[in-house]
Amino acid sequence: MTLGKKIRELREANNMLQRQLASKLEIGDGYLSKVERNQKTLNREHLLKISVLFKYPILELETLWIGNKVYDLIKDEKQGLDALKVAESQIKYNTTNAKI
């Protein structure tokens, strides 16, 4: 699932119009429409507002947000999946060595 789809899902589950959520986030409703279609991104402060508003875990929203950022970075790269594996290995290595 993408962050945009999750935001739309939360908004619709709470019977909220795009313009209502956009107003609460202090962004344009056109911008929110693009966010929900994964054409634009929000910042972390918006995620916190969404988390509080819909009582949804901020960590799950941040995970989707980071996932979208990573995808945007590698989507056109031929070795994108290989690069993800390298990054995963580096994270595991650094996490293991940080505990020592």
What's the whole-number mean pLDDT along residues 28-40? 96
Whether the per-residue pLDDT at 9 is higher than 70: the answer is: yes
What's the confidence (pLDDT) of residue 100? Answer: 59
Domains of the chain, start order: 3-72 (1.10.260.40)
pLDDT at 96: 86
Could you tell me where the DSSP H helices lie in the chain?
3-13, 18-25, 29-36, 44-54, 58-74, 80-98
pLDDT reported for residue 99 = 67
User: Average pLDDT, stretch 5-31?
Assistant: 98
Percent of the chain with pLDDT over 70: 98
Which conformational region is residue 38 in: left (phi greater than 0), alpha (psi within -120 to 50 degrees), or beta? left
**Residues 3 and 61 sit within 8 Å (Cβ to Cβ):** yes
Query: What is the structure's pLDDT at 89?
Result: 93
Whether the pLDDT of residue 28 is over 70: the answer is yes
pTM for the complete prediction? 0.84
- Rounded to an integer, the average pLDDT of 37-47 is 95
74, 84 Cβ separation under 8 angstroms: yes
